[in-house]
Amino acid sequence: MSARNDIVDSIVWAGELKPDELERARRGLAERVFTKGSYICHRGDRLDYWTGVVDGLIKISAISAAGKAMTFAGVTDGGWFGEGSVLKNERRKYDVVAIRDTRLVMLSRSTFMWLFDNSTGFNRFLVRQLNERMGQFIATIEYDRILDPTARVARNLSWFFNRALYPLAGNEIEISQEELGLLAGVSRQVVNRSLRVLEEKGLLRAEHGRIMIVDAEALSRYGS
């Protein structure tokens, strides 16, 4: 089996496509690897691909004119991002950074638009994706303004257990305290204290480099 077929087998939305649509998608895919700390794109860049994470972890963020940093989302294995910019054929309004060594699969815009114009299954997936992502971004703005650091850590963790956005999610995630701090916009020390609080409340179990979720729903509501 070719490497490209292996990539397709790992893509959740491929299961929504008819055989001819799947073959068209396969021809439009490419794979790239980014090392930890690398920019996948800068705010203002053109990135004419819809992009998924095969394995790794990336951060989608921006810095305001006043210098305030805001993280919009973290994306890990099985997650896809950037469909809005591809649909609108616009420059990216955010930075995308690899928080750890990351392997991406990238679908060309021309193939994306062909599927958008021709595939009912692909459009069903996109509607679900856009709806969930919009809810996530609205929640991000809310908690960035009103939640305490522990609640911000809890909400950032809960993102990764949204089955619509991260269909490969189980009940645990491999993530370091440093990585979680970068996503939540807090220090590693704050993450450490926050995880102890959340563990005491029975919402998760934290081990070195790994967090097991006990109650994902309660984690998503923590601090409300």
Domains of the chain in start order, with CATH, are 3-119 (2.60.120.10), 147-221 (1.10.10.10)
**Distance of alpha carbon 150 from its chain centroid, rounded?**
21
pLDDT for residue 54: 92
Q: What is the pLDDT of residue 131?
A: 87
Where residue 156 falls (left for φ over 0; alpha for ψ -120 to 50; beta otherwise) is alpha
Residue 67 region, left (φ>0) first, then alpha (ψ -120 to 50), else beta? left
pLDDT, position 167: 75
DSSP H helices in the chain:
3-9, 19-27, 83-88, 109-118, 120-146, 149-159, 177-184, 188-200, 216-221
CB of 74 closer than 8 Å to CB of 159: yes
pLDDT of residue 142: 62
- Mean pLDDT of successive 10-residue stretches along the chain, which has 224 residues: 63 92 94 96 95 93 76 87 94 94 96 97 93 76 71 88 78 88 88 95 91 90 81
Task: Look up the pTM and report it.
Answer: 0.80
Run of H or E residues at 52: strand 49-55
